[in-house]
Structure 1
Amino acid sequence: MSVMAVQTPARHRATDEEILQRQSADAFPGDLHQAWIRACRRLSGAGYGEGVTDAYVRLSPQIARLVSPQTAVDLAGVVSGVAIRAGRAAAALLPEQALAAAETVGRDGFPRWLLLVEYVSNSAPESLAILFAHMPQLLLQVGLEGLESWTRIGIRMAEGDRERRLRFFRLDDPSAIRWLQRASGQIGFADMEAKLRPFLTALWGDSPPLRETPSNAHEQTRRRAGFDGSVVRLPSSFPGFQSADAERLYRAAVAHIGAHLRFTRERFPVGGLKPAQIALVSLIEDARVEQLAMRELPGLARLFLPFHTVQPSSAVTAPALFARLARALADPSYEDPNPWIAKAREAFLREDPHDQQLSRRIGNLLGNDLGQMRIQFDPRNYVVQPPYRDDNLGLWDFGDDDSQAEDAEQVLSSARIRQEENHERPDRIEQESRPDGEAGRVQIEPLSMEGVLVARYGEFDYVTGREQPDWVSVKEYPANAATAAQVARLREKRGDLADRVTALIRSARVSRAERLRRQSEGEFLDIDACIDAVIARRIGETPSPRIHGRYERRSRDLSVLLLLDVSQSTNDRVANGRRTVLDIERQAAALLSQAMFGLDDPFAIAAFCSDRREDVRYTRIKDFSQPYDSLVEARLAGLQGSFSTRLGAAIRHAGADLATQRSYRRLLLVVSDGEPSDIDVEDRRYLVEDARKAVQGLSRLGVNTFCVGLDSNAESYLGRIFGQKNAFSIATIDRLTDLLPKLYLALGR
């Protein structure tokens, strides 16, 4: 019987079948091959779903080679048990997690890992899929023994409390973080609190209350210290720092905040400042108080300066310039050729550091210069550098009008912790960062619908064969938000499809091929292994047969930008259906996003339409560094179809964003329902040829561009723009499962 007859998915090509047949025979020698086929039959006949069987069939031969054939056969029984107790989703994830664990813990540790999976499946089945999402990171952080201890602690602590178990394994419970730090030997707030109080008192003669940042705070807030009034707030840990460095980081953080409490006499009113100006005023104030602190206590320089590690570079992004400016003002020996930084340092040194208003004067000046330099500043993703400096929330007076402070608080990475700590209202963060009880509506202030000109791009004229420079203006518009539950319902309606999409994306090994040496068979001879074999033979020893090498993709290294066409035609209803084209786009975006977010693939979502060449409208739904959460789903729900489809300019702008990602593969996935058009263009071929030129330009930058057409008659122009192999047309959302294997197969080449 053929191996592939066990599962017979129609989408596998004949070459894939032959490869898997050969690999399975090599991985399971003798009678074990028949045992493996019987295991595959049992899984296929049990009705767990194609995703479960497919994952086991594809990955178990690799597990057999890494661990042992018998263990890989026995794994089918564990998969079956997990499917029964923890559900199909967890069972479909198990084979890939098993392969990753085998690579990490090795042949000897794998049986213990498998016993741990069975323990969780029996004791906390609802938590197993969540644990799998964190499993690779946890194994690297604490090792197998630490993971066993941490998992058993979580189950024992929350025994009988399903919701608390889920919070623990999602790492939303502060105790989960503390136990994880203890298992890994990492220094955290709990370890440092008793040391920091006397340290702060010895420095400044004051001992303000120290509090740990709440676990439900914004991610950027959890990464930085902060203060508000007399309360000092510190992160539960500083990830990525070794124990000795983490201890110095905590000491530097409280020393810096102590300098603020001593030398920052009054808060700055926000007034009409722009986000970039707020960030710069805060940066100058940080430098001012540190200069005064180091005059009183010169030894603090040895605490602060080692964390200023940035070097001059050609990068002219706002975060890079701000980090370099911070070092230039703190480190007299640092030299930077950038004129903007030199101007800032000269202005800072001319002023009297005892005058607090110098921070506002210099910050306003530098902010205006930044605007003249056309450097974009993203307040949502800005994180203060270096890491010991606080989030600067305590420096600003927002007044009584909360709407005035919206942009400022984004800059300061604040989730309104001031109110939570001063007024003991822990529900405030919950209400603002998560859906409320009424159908998951996210509370968001109304946004101004004025677009901001961010770029000008050329446009290709096929008649003359030349590009018209700076011909099209791209303006970024803020995203409207609606009820996030609308998108959640669209996604939940197709939960079965969501599982299959996740399994398909998870199965793709999109990365640079690694050279594996000393293999028993392969694509080339491993010269070093051959030499060792010859030497062994010469001295009378039995040479190792592992003298080959091969190339294999063993990880994921992919960034994706999903670009949605929201032109007027997307409001049309699909053929023989009640839903609009835009509904299908939302559902596809939600399904793909859920899968990619669960795999930690960097991805972004944007939408576009156009109103003549002077106004190509681009809306960011999710940036690469932003989590996929209810706010993103609210923005997806708020999309409305309008205007036209000037595709080439949108592709160029999205591609410029994607080209900054340092991934092996970068994918721009365009979802559109119609031919490129705009009301100031009469020649239908003009925008098609321009879009084709834009795709070719991204290809030269190493960006792969694909298009999903939601129009059955779109093949002609989509093939012309993207290439026949890179354009797909689908009429229903179910065809995503046909599309994704082709797409990822092309990326994996």
Structure 2
Amino acid sequence: MTAEHKTVRAMHPGETIRSAFPGDLYESWDDVCRRLAGAGYGNVVTDSYLRHSPELARLASPQAAIVLATIVSGLAIRAGRRAAAVAPVAAIVAAKRYNDAASLQEWLRLIEQVGDQAPESAGALLDQTASLTARLDVHALASWIRIGLRSNNGEPERRLRFFTLEDPNARRWLLRESGEVGFLDLEARLKPYLTALWGETPPMRETPANAPEQARRRPGFDGSVVRLPAAYPGFSGSDSEKLYRAAVAHIGAHLKFSHERFPVGGLKPAQIALVSLIEDARVEHLAMRELPGLARLFTPFHAAEPSGTATAPGLFARLARALADPGYDDPDPWVQKGRRAFFEAEADWASQQISRRIGDLLGNDLGQMRVQFDPKNYVVQPPYRDDNLGLWDFGDDDQQQSSEAEQVLSSARIREELDDSRPPDRTETEMGDAGGCVELIEQAQDGVLVARYPEYDYVAAREQPEWTSVKEYAPKAVASGPAARLVEEHADLVARVKALIRSARVSRAERLRRQPEGEFLDMDACIEAMVARRIGEAPDHRLHGRYERRSRDLSVLLLLDISQSTAEKVRGSTRTVLDVERQSAALLARAMAGLGDPFAIAAFCSDKRDDVRYVRIKDFNQTYDDLVDARLDGLESGLSTRIGAAMRHAGADLACERSYRRLLLVVTDGEPSDIDIEDRQYLVEDARKAVHHLNLFGIDTFCVGLDSNADSYLGRIFGQRNAITIAAVERLTDLLPKLYLTLSR
């Protein structure tokens, strides 16, 4: 036995250890201790196991403590000594949370699995044991770990970011598995809520994970972006939604009534906090004058009570309640003075300077009371109120300001992280769950990252938010290509197609009144006819009404697959599949342009989930001309076919069109695939989910498959009635316009 072994055994008297490992289990425990000590893992690993395994045996079972030794050994070999040393400590935490044998056994199995499959992340996962086990039961934890192992394509660095919770997807999946309601669940409802209350439309963001603790726990705004916490732990789903709504309403009140920023100057941290508190109360009272119902939203979250030690945070929370809740009575003279000063100045509430004056006054009194204020740990109360960053002006040089003042407004340090959003002139395209569009645009090396979309994982039966990145690439233009020569080569076909489509009627059904016959009675005409009869006049016999489509009202987006497989030659021809797609698109475009239908053309391919390439050939507001043909001719085949993300992005464009019908027409020559996906069914199910979401938002989808074996997956994705397979690719030029005619009726 090593000296280390003897030392630790001395720390645990024999009888104490034997009580944890009764009978033959003591010898088993002694044996695994000897093996750990002799394996050369180092004293820190052996010491950790020897110190903590008896406690684990008492909390759970001796068998679990002995099994832990094997896991510690495996971690030491694969994940390193640090992870192995942390494992016994984490096991005790898990045993206190998962107090049944089956749950702890599953936890041990999960740690062993991560050590085998993602050894670089084992230590990070063990470090998170306290927070994870507090929020997740063992089944939810298993699901979260499985997502982390599956979701990062075997890339150790990205897996590590997931298990350290630096990856936003890790935090979002954690929210979903824990059953908590978070910002992402409510984002689509909070934006229109703010607009409905105050007419404000600032972009909203989830607070970054690397923000200071105070900023992660409270909302904030900085004049251009509204930040909201990822979640409010400890609040139920219904209370969380009310809390988010209260936060949005409160920030909206600041945007409407806080017109200037207060200069920080030489103010002390306590004065900054108090001026902010008074300003919060001022804008809320002004807001409640216009919208009295907001009182029912704000007041329930003021929970401070007039008891306990008079600390600065406690007094601030009590003052906040005293200014918000008329029924609250607080005996503290300082709170009473603040309440009296605030309401005596009601006539001056329109001016922000009242907040500065009252805040300075109360701050001086607080200093004379010798009440200590710790700016490092101060968190605004109640929880819906913001961190007050948007209220203060640090001047031209932030470094000249007091470091303590910056601690009160610590979220100022995360402005850089938030400013990676769109340029100011870019507006958001929202489709809720259908689009999943994220407000992010940044320069990429070869394209422009315009949006991130969710992707559906059919194994976990959940969408992974912001999982795919769509980058828009500038189209190339090539003169005198196949599309440009279409009229010369197929003049008869162009004329025939125009004649076929000209008769199509696609529109909102208009109600025609005062008709001699029809589908319903025109009540106004009937009443006028009865009045005419009563006064002895001849009634008008046109008493009916009917519905008729009298004008075209259809928007179409043609989405072309330009993956590598489109470079193959069409059987018995010198043309490629892409050549056929070009000419078919040009023919259809000429027909639609002649009829005046709004339409757009785009192409796509992909290089893993981080580079879904989208090429705009023609936008809805662009006229059809020779440049469009040149762009079609400039398309090049390459890469893979991640169709779900491309359809979501195309659907976001279609969602902005105000037509009676909106149609996404997809032309593809192969099954969805990408080099980072081995499971063939994965992208098929994601595309199916994308089609379902688009349909929910009134966007019809139809697919033309240029693959004789496509029936199996196209029917699954689009539905049997919304997909057609063309075995002879060269027929696409003739069939695509006819298909359009059928769909547009």
Shorter-chain TM band: 0.5 to 0.7
Q: How does 1:414-493 map to 2 (within 5 A)?
A: 414-422=411-419
CA gap of 1:19–1:302, structure 2 versus 1, over 3 A, is: same
| Per-residue Cα deviation, 1:506-555 (whole angstroms, up to 9, x for no partner) | xxxxxxxxxxxxxxxxxxxxxxxxxxxxxxxxxxxxxxxxxxxxxxxxxx
Displacement after TM superposition at 1:65 (Å): 5.2
Q: Secondary structure at the match of 2:379?
A: coil
What is the rounded CA distance, in whole Å, between the counterparts of 2:289 and 2:94 in structure 1?
53
What is the rounded CA distance, in whole Å, between the counterparts of 1:381 and 1:314 in structure 2?
19
CA gap of 1:364–1:100, structure 2 versus 1, over 3 A, is: closer
Residue 46 of structure 1 corresponds to: 39
- Contact in 1 for aligned 2:281/2:324 (Cα 8 Å): yes
Residue 412 of structure 1 corresponds to: 409
Displacement after TM superposition at 1:342 (Å): 1.1
Residue 455 of structure 1 corresponds to: none
| Per-residue Cα deviation, 1:682-714 (whole angstroms, up to 9, x for no partner) | xxxxxxxxxxxxxxxxxxxxxxxxxxxxxxxxx
Question: Which residue among 239, 262, 280 is the counterpart of 1:286?
Answer: 280
Question: Which residue among 72, 85, 89 is the counterpart of 2:78?
Answer: 85
Q: Secondary structure at the match of 2:105?
A: helix
Q: Is residue 365 of structure 2 the alignment partner of residue 372 of structure 1?
A: no
What is the rounded CA distance, in whole Å, between the counterparts of 2:11 and 2:189 in structure 1?
63
Whichever residue aligns with residue 44 of structure 2, its letter is G
CA gap of 1:423–1:71, structure 2 versus 1, over 3 A, is: closer
Q: Is residue 378 of structure 2 the alignment partner of residue 386 of structure 1?
A: no
Displacement after TM superposition at 1:420 (Å): 4.5
Displacement after TM superposition at 1:328 (Å): 0.8
Residue 235 of structure 1 corresponds to: 229
Whichever residue aligns with residue 346 of structure 1, its letter is R
Residue 397 of structure 2 corresponds to: 401
Size of the aligned set, in residue pairs, is: 419
Displacement after TM superposition at 1:180 (Å): 0.2
What is the rounded CA distance, in whole Å, between the counterparts of 1:14 and 1:419 in structure 2?
54
CA gap of 1:233–1:48, structure 2 versus 1, over 3 A, is: same
What is the rounded CA distance, in whole Å, between the counterparts of 2:277 and 2:115 in structure 1?
50
Q: Secondary structure at the match of 1:416?
A: helix
| Per-residue Cα deviation, 1:456-479 (whole angstroms, up to 9, x for no partner) | xxxxxxxxxxxxxxxxxxxxxxxx
Q: Secondary structure at the match of 1:415?
A: helix
| Per-residue Cα deviation, 1:437-463 (whole angstroms, up to 9, x for no partner) | xxxxxxxxxxxxxxxxxxxxxxxxxxx
- Contact in 1 for aligned 2:269/2:408 (Cα 8 Å): yes
What is the rounded CA distance, in whole Å, between the counterparts of 1:131 and 1:67 in structure 2?
21
CA gap of 1:158–1:386, structure 2 versus 1, over 3 A, is: same
Displacement after TM superposition at 1:110 (Å): 2.6
- Contact in 2 for aligned 1:28/1:61 (Cα 8 Å): no
Displacement after TM superposition at 1:300 (Å): 0.8
Q: Secondary structure at the match of 1:122?
A: helix
- Contact in 1 for aligned 2:93/2:129 (Cα 8 Å): no
Question: Which residue among 149, 158, 163 is the counterpart of 1:169?
Answer: 163
CA gap of 1:130–1:53, structure 2 versus 1, over 3 A, is: same
What is the rounded CA distance, in whole Å, between the counterparts of 1:402 and 1:97 in structure 2?
42
| Per-residue Cα deviation, 1:1-24 (whole angstroms, up to 9, x for no partner) | xxxx57654645858333345325
Q: Secondary structure at the match of 2:190?
A: helix
Instruction: Return the index of the structure with the highest Cα Rg.
Output: 2
Q: Secondary structure at the match of 1:160?
A: coil
Displacement after TM superposition at 1:277 (Å): 1.5
Q: How does 1:29-178 map to 2 (within 5 A)?
A: 29-30=23-24, 32-64=25-57, 67-105=60-98, 106-178=100-172
Residue 254 of structure 2 corresponds to: 260
Q: Secondary structure at the match of 1:302?
A: helix
Whichever residue aligns with residue 82 of structure 2, its letter is A
What is the rounded CA distance, in whole Å, between the counterparts of 1:367 and 1:114 in structure 2?
53
Q: CA RMSD in A?
A: 2.4
What is the rounded CA distance, in whole Å, between the counterparts of 1:69 and 1:398 in structure 2?
59
Query: What TM-score, normalized to structure 2?
Result: 0.53
Residue 491 of structure 2 corresponds to: none
CA gap of 1:33–1:230, structure 2 versus 1, over 3 A, is: closer
- Contact in 1 for aligned 2:205/2:225 (Cα 8 Å): yes
CA gap of 1:75–1:414, structure 2 versus 1, over 3 A, is: closer
- Contact in 2 for aligned 1:20/1:58 (Cα 8 Å): no
**Structure 1 stretch 341-350 or stretch 66-75: which is displaced more?**
66-75
Q: Secondary structure at the match of 2:235?
A: coil
Question: Which residue among 160, 174, 178 is the counterpart of 1:180?
Answer: 174
Residue 194 of structure 1 corresponds to: 188
What is the rounded CA distance, in whole Å, between the counterparts of 1:98 and 1:423 in structure 2?
40
- Contact in 1 for aligned 2:54/2:65 (Cα 8 Å): yes
Q: Is residue 9 of structure 2 the alignment partner of residue 16 of structure 1?
A: no
Q: How does 1:628-643 map to 2 (within 5 A)?
A: none
Structure 2 gap segments, 5+ residues each: 424-745
Residue 358 of structure 1 corresponds to: 354
CA gap of 1:13–1:176, structure 2 versus 1, over 3 A, is: closer
Query: What TM-score, normalized to structure 1?
Result: 0.53
What is the rounded CA distance, in whole Å, between the counterparts of 1:277 and 1:55 in structure 2?
48
What percentage of residue pairs aligned between the two structures are identical?
63
Q: Is residue 297 of structure 2 the alignment partner of residue 303 of structure 1?
A: yes
